[in-house]
Every structure is written in structure tokens, then in C-alpha cells.
Amino acid sequence: MTYKFIGKRIKRNEDPRLLTGQALFVDDVDIPGMLHVAFVRSDYAHARILNIETEAARQHPGVVAVYTAEDMGDEWAPGPPLVSPPPTLAGVIFNSRRQSPLAKGKVYHAGEAIVAIVAESRYIAEDAADEVRVDYEPLPVVVDLEKAMGPDSPRVHDDLDTNLAAHMFQKKGDYEVARAQADLIIKKKFFLDRGAAVAMENRGVVAHWDEKSQQMTIWDTTQAPIPIRNGTAARLGLSQKQVRVIAPFLGGGFGPKAMMFYPEEMLIPWLSMKLCRPIKWIEDRRENFYATTSERQQVHEVEIALTNDGRVLGLKDDFLHDTGAFDPYGLTIPLNTQCHVTGPYDIQNIASNCTAVFTNKPIVTPVRGAGRPQGVFIIERMMDFAARELGMEPLELRVKNLIPPEAFPYDKEIIDQAFAKLILDSGNYLPVVEKAREMIGYDQFIKEEQPRLRAEGKFVGIGITPFIETTGVGPYEGVRIQIEPSGKVNVATGIGTQGQGHFTSFAQIVSEQLGVAVSDVSLVSGDTAEFHWGTGTFASRGAVVAGSATLAAATSVRTKVLKLASKVLETPEEELELEDGVVRVADLPHRSISLGELAALANPLRGAVEPGTEPGLEATDYFGPAYGATSFGVHAMIIEVDPETMMIEFKRYITVEDCGTVLNPLILEGQIHGGVSMGIGNSYYEKMHWDENGQLLNASLADYLIVTAHEMPNRIEVGHLETRSPFNKLGTKGVGEAGAIPVTACFTQALENALEEYHLEILESPLSPNRLYELLRNLTMSTYGREARK
Amino acid sequence: MKIEGEYTFTGPREKVWEIIRDPEILATALPGTKKLELVGENEYEGEMQVRIGPVAGVFGGKLIVSNEVAPESLTLTVEGVGKVGFLKGSGDIVLRDQDGNSTLMKYSGEVQIGGKVASVGQRLFDAVSKSMIRQGLGKLNEALRV
Amino acid sequence: MSDLFNVNVTVNGTLYEREVEPRILLSDFLRHDLGLTGTHVGCEHGVCGACTVLFDGNPVRSCLMFAVQTNGHEVTTVEGLGDIDDLHPIQQAFWEAHALQCGFCTPGFLTTLVPFLEENPDPSEEEIRNAISGNLCRCTGYQHIVEAVQLAAEKMRA
């Protein structure tokens, strides 16, 4: 299919505002009379609250109000469950525990909010917060996942017998049969740890209850404004019409901003109503490490069963998943892990046993990747170990087990985060692998370069990792499109945007249908007053689901345009074309009418609109996919390890993606680059360090290291192949998380390959230069380092 | 976090013991100590100004002496709470005679910190605590000569 | 409350006279007292670089300075670099190279890069990476930013 706008490198509509400091972020909202909130947060990870002394804070000049859980009276209640466990899965156990707006009686993790101070300025609120005294009775702390499930472990929730948050078992085929038939069984145990999302903008909420108009307006750094509106209305006893939630420009989301009902999101609007004043709370960076969700800790015990010729017969995975102190987000992350732990491979026998565990740590919800990187890490590690045992070339083993093109749609028979069996819609994996192999010069590197560089004493290694990404899940999104009499086109959708370029990529879809310049299409996203149906931006679904709804609505508007223009120009619709903002007769281009004039005609001031027609050139449409669309890709890298410092240099970095139709290659590349940077952080620099008392020891950007321009490869080369998704008319598949998903797996493979002579076996992630040094030293002092190279 | 070390005082063991059991001297020796008062048998209350990297604040708390075997050994238990977090710990102190009228102090203990001081200051806590101990013991040693 | 101090500071060419508490950070002063919200705050301790502004032409972290320190000086924020209809070459290059996604860190990159490009009209890639190594971006992976700087340098030399 040839497009005029779709698939073009078009620069973004939203950028001029962002580049000149004119874009509105939540902390930029300023309302006369606005008050500011600071929180007193728990110093302890697990403790009873014996007493809260707030009198001095209340007396502090400039303090307007101080609230504890007790002060909230009957209106104190935990948030609603956000995502329930999959109803289609038999035998699932799920203990739902949600966080309350302010801790009552007990704190469950360090940094939990206990007291809210409302004051004339943030400075005063923080001064007063220092004057609050909380007396605690420290309780034993649950940090380690395995110990948490031991019989003598202290319990996070007093009313539960254990720290079990959830248990679910999923299977395909019969692993035991596969095991019995296998020539080779490999068993390993893996430890994956937590990282933070670190959006550059921390969270924030501004709530303004206007008593006279009885309207609540909320500016929220949320990826999901509509659920926030609906939930807030329900909580505050307002009608949905009385609540408007605006997610303006967001300084990155990466998942945690879609947690939906953080304590602050429940509390700030309530305070605004209570005090009849606009109220602002802006999270600081340290709060962000505790009060915003994070992800990725799991412990896996895995078994893979293979034949001698490298056919994977089955995989068994028994894993613990850290859910933190509460589990409002249900089982999305471990379900993703279960769906990705068999990767792009045709494995007929799967047994996956998941136990989600409560710990005295902040809540776990999806972070870019959302359980997928863990699954990919596990299967790719197992593939590497299997290749080693079988004496096979690692890529050959992978290729041998890829799902073949004729097998699509391919039923994984594992329930995914959309609570339906994961069906891989389409794909042709081998050409993507071959392209990556060619781009990175795999064979030449293995045969020539690597031996030569090794002879020079260099530690160079290669990794090549195929992976899938389930994207574009339902339930649905909607879009309204209207042509104005000016000829400009308004588009409104309910999903939020956090830098993904929706203002532009959706405009391209509209331009394609209506023949207007992309810069003439203006999008409003994330304002419930503009559009109030939908769920939000997460799970790499924006382009697929809201993009498809945009296509549907644009097509409907086009139909209206053609119908009206046909009448005005007295020409059959088939002979008309939409180009450069006008409708014209294809063969007689001077016979034309602009879209703006048509829009004015469609909204007449006199006369009657014909029965059965609607005024204006406007349409609203929805898209709800029965299944998601699954992207496929390959990352490949060549790295060099400095054996003295353990620092890594990326010599090459290749990605090849098949995400169906590409809407805007510029934006796609940006998504991939950013995902890779997060993946590199997750692989080698970023880790949240908890001590045994549940204290986070690196809660600042000085100690928690996200990658800078120096740690990145100089060039990420992005290749693309296209297998259109049959599930949506755009043929597109999501890609928002793809950049991040396979990086740790690929990096680990490359690292082991670079250090091949030490027979290093990496069973954990993230690593760090220090940790790598430890691993090597532990292996054997005598064979390590300079001596070994001599 | 573990704290461990030893220090040689230039004075006899009895004298060293006297000094470490005297709250007034102890207060002058512990860096940042604003006050230290005896409030019960072997129990002191005090305030201490602490700076660890970017985190600075006053900790108010208790110091309890137990397992006392004069003039040989004792156990110190500390509990402090401040606006920047909390710290608690306990450690054993043992004094041994050395040659030439000097005394060797061996100390070992565990300290736990929480709150802001842990999340932002942890990286420096080890270095800061070591330097505070060194400074404090140096001051005590000076006091011996008076 | 503490005493108020007079601050006379020229921001983006306009002289502002304000009375502020001595503890008010420059970042808060710019954002909340002057309403120049283009300067963003990402970490509050000088690591992320989002709040970078030009102080007498040199990049500084406005979260690490007090407003009173700017008395008698000149400050340039992102709002002072160019307008929507008349972008600075570095802003234009960021736009063309897709060097921003969420755009939150972008003002800090731009204010860091303006004096850098003035001093280094033809920087190498290594020099560019050094120049931006004190600015954190979570969205772009930096590659398009590096390309934008190269593009801007080209434009500015022409």
C-alpha cells in the first residue's frame, strides 16, 4: 500500500511548543489561591504507628490544614482494585490488598504517606512536615522473595496467613511428557531485580474544586485520565460530568504513571473539595523512588527439555514475583512474563507456575516492558545454555525453534494480560533474524573478527536475540474528528500522551484520509472534557488501538465530506479526490471546494438539516481488538569489556523490528533508541538497592544511575521489515516497549560471549561493573585478569 | 551496617574507663553532640547534629550502657530519631592493657539507619561514621592527658 | 518568616524587581514568581540538568542556586532562546532531528548547548557527548540529540 503521509519522516506537531518552553506540564498549572501539599512519609518499611503528633505543624504559620488517616474519618478508604485477576484462569488465587490514601495503624513500606500538610507554599508545607512526630513500633521486615514464602517469615498483611499475593498455573501440552521424551534437560535458577522507571518529570496532581460551578478539574500526570475521572467521581460522590481530568504534556510515563489511583490521586481532589481551594502536590525525586511504582524482581526456577538435535520439547518455569506491599494492578506483569517466557519459539509443552509475593517494598506495577523483559531473559538464557550443552551455534538453535510463518495465527494457549489466550496474529520471523544477522555481520564477526581481536587480547562478544512483544490490547479506544470552517481538523482521543508523538502520528492517519497537511490537524489527548471514553496509554497500545480508531473516524468523516461535496460539485463521489485541503474533481482540478467551506455548509444557519443526517463534518469511532497484535524483532550487539574496569563499550548495536505498518519512521526510531537506553540501564547500571530493613539506599539520581550520552552506543542501527497485522486496518503493531524488552537478554549473551574463556554463567540481572568483577573473582582468582591473558 | 575497629589510648585502662563513663567528657568527644544527660541508671538522653553528605539534621535519642564489666567491657545501645530519619545500633567495647601504659579499645557493632539519611546518605554513611569515630576517640585520648 | 530581599534580575532581556525569601531557589523563582515555566525541575539536586539556565551566559543548575544570587545579573531561560515562529537554530535542529520526545528535559539541553555551540562551532561527536553528559534524558537514548547538535552546528556555521 502506498501512502502519502503514513510512513513518512514527518517532524512533530507538538515540538515547537515543547522547544520554546510553552507546553503545559502539571507543575506549570497556577491558579490564584492555590495551596500546596507536602507529605510526611514513613521512615520504616514495616511498623505500627503508635502516635502521630501534628500539633506543632498545625500551628506553623502558613499551614492551612493537616490531615492524618484519622482526620479523614469515614472517607478514608483504600483505592479500588485496578485490574482483577484473569477470570478465565481456573484455580487462580488472588489476595487483593490496596493502599489507602494515608497509612492507618501500620506502614507497609518505607515512604508510605502518613500525614498530608496543606500550606500556603510548598516551602512552608515542608517546614511544617518536619515538625510532625510519628512514633513507630518497628516490625520485622519482609524483603527477600524466597524468605518471604518461608514458614517463619514475618507477614506483610496481618490478616493473611502467608505473604502469598497470588498464585496461578498455566500450561500448554504436557511438560512431563516432553521431559520424558527429551535427550537433554537443563535446570537453572535466576534472580532478577528491581529498577525504577525514572520519568524525568516526577508525578503531580493539581485539583481545583469550584464550589460555585460544582466542578472538579484535575491536572494529573496520568497515562490514563479517563479511569481517573471515573474513579474520582465515584469516590467523591460526584457525577462523571462534574469531574474533568486533564493529562497535559507529561514528562515521560514508562508505565508507573498508569498505576491509576495512587494515594495522592485520591487525596488531593478530596482535599480541594474539603478546603474549597485549588491544591497542588508535586512529587520530589526522592518521593518518586518510594511513592511511585517500580518493577522487575522475580526468582525463576526453570527447566528446559530438548532433543539432541536442538528441538525444544518443553519448558517449565516456577517463579516468584515481587508485587511489593500491595497488588492493585493485579497480575498483568506475571501474565506478560508467562506469555514471553517461550519467546518467539514453537514450544508445545509449557508449565508455568507463578507465585506473587507481598514484600515491605513499594508497589510493583508495569514499567516499560512489564514482565516481558523477564520472560525474554529467561528463555534466551536457557537457549544459550542449551546451545552450549549441545555444542550448537546459539543462533542456529534459535532459528531451529522459531515459529514458522505458516503457523500463524499461532495459539500460545497461555492467558495474556487481556485475559484471553495469547494468539500471535501474524509474523514471518526468519527474514527478520536473517536481516539482523546480515546487518551486524554475524558470521564474519564469529569467524574472522572475534578470533583476530581475541588474539590481540581484547574481550569482544556478540549477542543476537529474537523476541516477541505482545501489544495493542483492548478493550478499546475512541476518537472524534471534526473539520472546522477554517479547514483545520480537530482530533480528540481519550488516551494520554507522554512523548510518543501521538499529536503527529495520529495526524498523519487523518491527513491520509482527508488530504490535509499534517500541521493542520490538531490533536487533544488526555482531556476528559474533550473525549471521555477509553482506558489509557499502556501496553504499547496507543498507535494500534487509538490509531485504528483514528483511522475509523477519519474514514467516516471522509465519507461525509465526499457525500456533501458530491452534491455541491454535482459530481459523483468516485470522481472526487481530497487533496491539499480541498475536494476536487479528479479530472477537473479547478472545480473544487475547500474542506472549510464544506464544513460551514454542513452546519447551516438557515434551513433544515435533512432528516437522518448530522450537522457538521464530524465523526466519532471506536476500535476494540479481540486480540492484541504481536510484534517481532531482533536485537544484536557487539561489545567490548575492559577487563580492568569492567566497563563496557558498545561496538555495534542493531535492531530489526517487524511492527507491521510504520506510521512515522522518525518516531519509531526514537521509541527504539529510548527503549534501548532503558534496557542498557536495566542491564548494567540501574538497580534499586534495598537493605535488609527495606530501606532503599539509592533514592536519588546521584546514586541511581540512568544512562547518560556516554553509556550509549554511538549508533543504534534500526532495520525494519513489515508483516501487517490482520487484526487492524492500519496493519500496525505496537512498538513502545520493544526497545527495552530484549536488551538485558542480549547484553548478557554478549557479555558471556566476550568472557567465553572464563566459562562465566550469568544467572542474574541487572549486573554492574562491580557485580561482574565479583562474579569473575568468585569463579577463580587464578584464571582471572591480566595473569590469564599473559 | 557493621562498624568495627580498634584504637590505642595513651593511658592506663582505668583512666580510659573513667573517661568513657563520664557523660560530660563523652559529650565533648562525640562530634556534633549538643547535649548528653544522664536520665537513669546507665541511660543517657541527648541530641546530636549529624551531617551525612547532603543530609543534615539533629537526632534526639537514647544511649544505654549495659553488660558493664568495669573497667573492661560494656555494650552501648543507641537509638536516635530526627527529621531526616532514624538510626539505631548496638556495639561492644572491650578495653585491653597494652605495653607501655597504653590501652587498646576494640569495638564492633551493627548500625541500622532509615529514612532520608538512608536513602540519600547511605553511600557516605560508612565514611562519615568512621571519621566520626576517629574524631571522637581522638578527643577522648586528648582528654586523657588533662 | 525570614526577611525578604530585593532581587533585580534581567531575565530574557526583561528587568524584574522582586522581593524574595533568601531560601527561594532560582528554579522556583523563575517558574513560580516569574511564571517562566519552561525551565523544568527533575531531581532537585543538580544531577539531571533539566533546570539548566544561562547565568550571565554560562549554563548553571537553577535548582542549585538561590534567586537572591542573581541580583544584578542576567539570566536566560529556554523562553529567551527563540519563539514558536522564530526558533533558535538549535531548537530548529532538535525539531528536525526528532531530538525530543516528552520534551521535559529539552530546555536544559538547549540552554546547555547554546553556549557550547558558540564556543565549539564544529564539535566532534565525542565533544558533543561530553557536552551533554550532565543532562539526563529518559526518552531519546541521546542519538537524535547528538545528531541535532551536529545539524545545528552546520546551520549555525552556514
CATH number (domain holding residue B57): 3.30.530.20
A135-194 pLDDT, tens per residue? 999 999 999 999 999 999 999 999 999 999 999 999 999 999 999 999 999 999 999 999
Mean pLDDT of chain A: 93
Residue B126 inside a domain? The answer is yes
- Poorest-pLDDT segment among A182-191, A397-406, A470-479, C136-145: A470-479
User: In the prediction, which pLDDT does C2 show?
Assistant: 65
Which pLDDT score, from 0 to 100, does residue A785 have? 47
Give partners of B (≥3 CB pairs < 8 A).
A
* Residue A734 confidence class, pLDDT cut points 50, 70, 90: confident
Alpha-carbon A265 to chain mean position: 20
Rounded Cα distance, A91 and A86, in Å = 10
Q: What angle do CA A244, A251, A653 make, to 5 degrees?
A: 140
Residue B94: inside a domain, yes or no? Answer: yes
Q: Of A515, A449, A522, which Cα lies nearest the Cα of A482? A: A522
Answer yes or no: are the C-beta atoms of A45 and A360 closer than 8 Å: yes
Question: What CATH number has the domain spanning A428-472+629-790?
Answer: 3.30.365.10
| Distance of alpha carbon A673 from alpha carbon C146, whole angstroms | 12
Q: Report pLDDT digits (tens) over A47-61.
A: 999 999 999 999 999
Cell triple for A474: 483492548
Torsion (CA) A672, A675, A677, A678 in degrees, nearest 10: 180
Do A15-21+474-623 and A428-472+629-790 come out as alike in CATH topology? Answer: yes
How does pLDDT run across A585-603, given as a tens digit for each residue?
998 888 999 999 999 999 8
Record: contact A284-C44, CB cut-off 8 A: yes
A498 vs C: CB within 8 A: yes
Residues facing residue B79 across a β-bridge: B62, B88
Contacts of range B45-54, beta carbons closer than 8 Å, 24 or more positions apart: B48/B80, B50/B82, B50/B117, B50/B128, B51/B128, B52/B117, B52/B121, B52/B124, B52/B125, B52/B128, B53/B120, B53/B121, B53/B123, B53/B124, B53/B128, B54/B120, B54/B121, B54/C45
Residue A781 binned pLDDT confidence (cut-offs 50, 70, 90): low
Residue B139 lies in a domain: no
For residues A375 and A298, is the Cβ–Cβ distance under 8 A? no
Residues 6+ apart with CB under 8 A from A237: none
Q: Is residue B36 part of a domain?
A: yes
pLDDT at A1: 65
CB contact under 8 A, B85 and A110: no
Q: Which of A650, A638, A654 is nearest to A445 (CA)?
A: A638
Q: How far apart are CA A281 and CA A275, in angstroms?
A: 15
* Beta-carbon pairs below 8 A across chains A and C: 182
A663 touches chain C (CB under 8 A): no
In a domain, B142, yes or no: no
**Residue B61 within a domain:** yes
Most A CBs within 10 Å: which of B79, B81, B119, B120, as the mutation test of the A interface? B119
Per-residue pLDDT at C53 exceeds 80: yes
Which candidate, A415, A218, A181, A412, places its Cα nearest to that of A308? A181
User: Total structural domains in chain B?
Assistant: 1
Domain segments of chain A: what residues? 15-21+474-623, 428-472+629-790
Residue-range definition of the domain harbouring residue B80: 2-133
> Is residue B123 assigned to a domain?
yes
Q: Give ipTM to 2 decimals.
A: 0.98
Which cell numbers hold the place of A468? Answer: 516477541
Mean pLDDT of B32-49: 87
Judged against a pLDDT cut of 80, whether residue A773 lies above it is answered with yes
Cβ of C143 under 8 Å from any chain A Cβ?
Answer: yes
Going by C-alpha positions, the residue among A5, A1, A3 that lies closest to residue A520 is: A5
User: Cα A537 vs. chain centroid, distance in angstroms?
Assistant: 8
B83 in reach of chain A (CB within 8 A):
yes
Residues 105-134 of A with CB under 8 A from B: 110, 130
Domains and CATH numbers, chain C: 5-80 (3.10.20.30), 89-157 (1.10.150.120)
Contact state of B123 with A703 under an 8 Å Cβ cutoff: yes
Cell numbers at A391, concatenated: 555444542
What pLDDT digit, counting tens, does each position of C115-125 carry?
A: 999 999 999 99
Rounded mean pLDDT, A496-513: 91
d(CA A193, CA A373): 12
Max CA distance (Å), chain B: 46
CATH of domain A15-21+474-623: 3.30.365.10
In a domain, B146, yes or no: no
> Could you tell me the strand order of the sheet in which A279-282 lies?
A63-67, A113-119, A35-41, A279-282, A204-210, A215-220, A243-246
Interchain pair C98, A28: CB under 8 A: no
C158 Cα to chain A: minimum distance (Å) = 22
Q: Are B34 and B61 in contact (CB under 8 A)?
A: no
Query: Is C103 close to A249, i.e. CB distance below 8 A?
Result: yes
Query: Which range has the worst mean pLDDT, A79-88, A110-119, A696-705?
Result: A79-88
What is d(CA A701, CA A720) in angstroms, rounded to the nearest whole number?
35
Using the predicted structure, report yes or no on whether residue A783 has a pLDDT greater than 70: no
Amino acid symbol at A395: L
Closest CA to A379 of A398, A366, A392, A393: A398
